[in-house]
Amino acid sequence: MNNTPILRMDNIVKNFNGVTALKNVSLEVTRGEVHAICGENGAGKSTLMKVLSGVYPAGTYGGNIVFEGEQVGYRSINESEADGIVIIHQELALSPYLSIAENIFLGNEISTRGVIDWNRTNREAALLLARVGLDENPATRVLELGVGKQQLVEIAKALSKQVKLLILDEPTAALNDEDSAHLLTLINHLREQGITSIIISHKLKEIRQIADTVTIIRDGETIESFSMSEPDATEARIIRSMVGRDLSSLFPPREANIGEVIFEVRDWSVYHPVDTTRLVVDGANFTVRAGEIVGFAGLMGAGRTELAMSIFGRSYGTNISGTVLKDGVEIQTRTVDEAIRNGLAYATEDRKKYGLNLIGDIAVNVSAAALAKLVRFGVIDRHREYKVADSYRAKMNIKAPSVSAITGKLSGGNQQKVVLSKWIFSGPDVLILDEPTRGIDVGAKYEIYGIINELAAQGKAVIVISSELPELIGLSDRIYAISEGVLTGEVARADATQERLMHFMTAGKDSAL
């Protein structure tokens, strides 16, 4: 490995209609290394990578980019890909109805005179899948794959383009521990094959595991860049540079004040909406007390989200049976509206698809689930709507110039805060948070944990679904484990360890509680 930089970005400046996303960012990536970029939500990480890859064409930003010794300014992704720079975005971009092979070679088809050579396509796809360690038939449609596997397909696609510099924007945000570990091993392998990677992540543990160098960006400026082999290259240092202060612990202190059972679900069963003979949730029984934070642990596909969505207005599944009780009285939650009126809230894990009106502004999104609170005689009090939204902008520390900013243009983490604001404003008694800190930086995570604690302190029942076991253990009073649609374990905070949870999470459907 020689030490010449493969990429240098100097003094990059990028404005959006008067909002400065990048003030002055410089980045130097050594050939063959894994380079991590860290920073708070809205710091400008994704924007920097979009500048590099030509999503924002040359001329729309200031500064200088040198790739492989040549000054470059890409005008489109095609141009950067031709030079071997491939970016895998925060939101995956595969076509669900096409097969793995078709996706890998999309826009790059193996063909003779316009006619696709399916044999070669599938053969080469199989080779690429082997390289990324994905054991699937290339003819499988992408919609049948979980996020973890889709991620691998994206990387296979990048490899098919003779990638030299692979950029991964929060690749593990939506992955469980197992898939994440697999992905990190793969990145390591690619490094051995001479492929340079840039990885953006909020998971510092991963960065310590994999990165050779880390660059930290705050408010659109490079703060520092250092080698992870330096003795003082610690997580604490990264955090300090990111947020500009020390963060003594990852979880804010909390004094649990747990009351009576206020939420109870009995014998809850749900069948798959398409394959109607398949049980997705099988006879789930659980309770949540006032002021209690209850975690739900499970592997990807275990049925956590399906359980939550089926309870919340039957938004998932068919042939749903079982009862829901609040304060000991049976309630109906047949429609989302009814669920909300009965004091339930569900913040979805997929904010783009189910959580936000991306072309609407922050105010419209914050008020969306509780418009009734702002209405008199059918007329919306816009004045109050803006005030309310603004108070959440301040409280949740949403980085946006004003509440009339369009949510689609916020950074991923800030969008997540808008989703949370919306459900907190709906004033629920029972709050179900599905992956509430996905894609959120350490500082903001701390803030969100604080908010969750506060909600519990107000006597609400809070359910947290998360794939990050340390988060569940740090936050919850009690944790249920799900495996294959069945509740397999219930662990009190004092007894919760990752090993113990893992044991229940992999127990299989014959180990029902």
Partner 1 sequence: MSTTTPAGQQPARRRLPRFRVNLRQYGILAALAIIVLLFQILTEGRLLLPGNVNNLIQQNAYVLILAVGMVMVIIAGHIDLSVGSVVAMVGAIAAISTNQWGLPWWAAVILAILVGALVGAWQGFWVAFVGIPAFIVTLAGMLIFRGLTLVLLTGGTINGLPEQFTAIGAGWLPGWFGELGGRDVLTLVLGALAAAMLVLQQVRSRATLRKLDLPREPLTSFWLKIGISALAILAFTWLLSDYNGTPIILILLALIILIYTFLLNRTVFGRHIYAMGGNLFAAMMSGVKTRWVNFFIFVNMGVLAGLAGVVSTARAGGAVASAGQNYELDAIAAVFIGGAAVQGGVGTVVGAVIGGLVMGVLNMGLSILSVDAAWQMTIKGLVLLLAVAFDIFNKRRAGGR
Ligand X SMILES: Nc1ncnc2c1ncn2[C@@H]1O[C@H](COP(=O)(O)OP(=O)(O)OP(=O)(O)O)[C@@H](O)[C@H]1O
Q: Provide the binding-site residues for partner 1, judged by CB under 8 A.
A: 16-19, 56, 60, 219, 243-249, 252-253, 312-313, 315, 335-337, 339-340, 346, 348, 353-360, 364, 368-369, 371-372, 375, 378-380, 382-383, 386-387, 390, 399, 401-404, 408-409, 422, 446-447, 450
CB of 296 to ligand X, least distance (A): 25
Residue 443 interacts with ligand X (CB under 6 A): yes or no: no
CB 237 within 8 A of CB 59: no
CB 185 within 8 A of CB 191: no
In whole angstroms, give the CA distance from residue 371 to residue 363: 11
Burial class (CB in 10 A: 0-12, 13-18, 19+), 336: middle
In whole angstroms, give the CA distance from residue 77 to residue 286: 49
Q: Which is nearer to Mg ion, 46 or 453 (CB)?
A: 46
392: partner contacted, choices Mg ion, ligand X, partner 1, none (Cβ within 5-8 A by kind)? none
Please choose, out of 44-52, 61-69, 72-80, 272-280, the segment that lies near ligand X by the rule CB under 6 A: 44-52
In whole angstroms, give the CA distance from residue 257 to residue 287: 16
CB 434 within 8 A of CB 361: no
Among 7, 25, 38, 46, binds ligand X (CB under 6 A): 46
Interface characters, 458-487, with ligand X (x: CB under 6 A) = ------------------------------
295: partner contacted, choices partner 1, ligand X, Mg ion, none (Cβ within 5-8 A by kind)? none
Q: Which is nearer to partner 1, 24 or 285 (CB)?
A: 24
Residue 42 interacts with ligand X (CB under 6 A): yes or no: yes
32: partner contacted, choices partner 1, Mg ion, ligand X, none (Cβ within 5-8 A by kind)? none
Please choose, out of 16-24, 326-334, 388-396, 468-476, the segment that lies near ligand X by the rule CB under 6 A: 16-24
Residue 53 interacts with ligand X (CB under 6 A): yes or no: no
Q: Which is nearer to partner 1, 287 or 365 (CB)?
A: 365
Residue 426 interacts with ligand X (CB under 6 A): yes or no: no
How big is the CA angle at 435 (ends 432 and 438), to the nearest 5 degrees?
A: 145
Among 1, 19, 143, 394, binds ligand X (CB under 6 A): 19
Residue 10: both structure tokens together: 């100097």
CB atoms within 10 A of CB 236: 12
CB 345 within 8 A of CB 432: yes
Q: Which is nearer to ligand X, 44 or 317 (CB)?
A: 44
CB of 214 to Mg ion, least distance (A): 16
Contacts of 509 (CB under 8 A, 6+ apart): 282, 483, 484, 485, 486
Q: Which is nearer to Mg ion, 52 or 311 (CB)?
A: 52
Residues that bind Mg ion in the complex, under the rule CB under 5 A: 46, 412
CB 471 within 8 A of CB 437: yes
Residue 54 interacts with ligand X (CB under 6 A): yes or no: no
Residue 428 interacts with ligand X (CB under 6 A): yes or no: no
CA dihedral of 227, 229, 235, 239, whole degrees rounded to 10 = -20
Question: What string of H, E and C letters represents the secondary structure of 435-500?
Answer: CCCCCCCHHHHHHHHHHHHHHHHCCCEEEEECCCHHHHHHHCCEEEEEECCEEEEEEEHHHCCHHH
**Helical (H) or strand (E) element with 177:** helix 177-192
21: partner contacted, choices ligand X, partner 1, Mg ion, none (Cβ within 5-8 A by kind)? ligand X
Q: Which is nearer to ligand X, 45 or 351 (CB)?
A: 45
Q: Is the dihedral of CA 113, 119, 124, 126 positive or negative?
A: positive
In the complex, the residues that contact ligand X under the rule CB under 6 A are: 16, 19, 21, 39, 41-47, 399, 409-414, 441
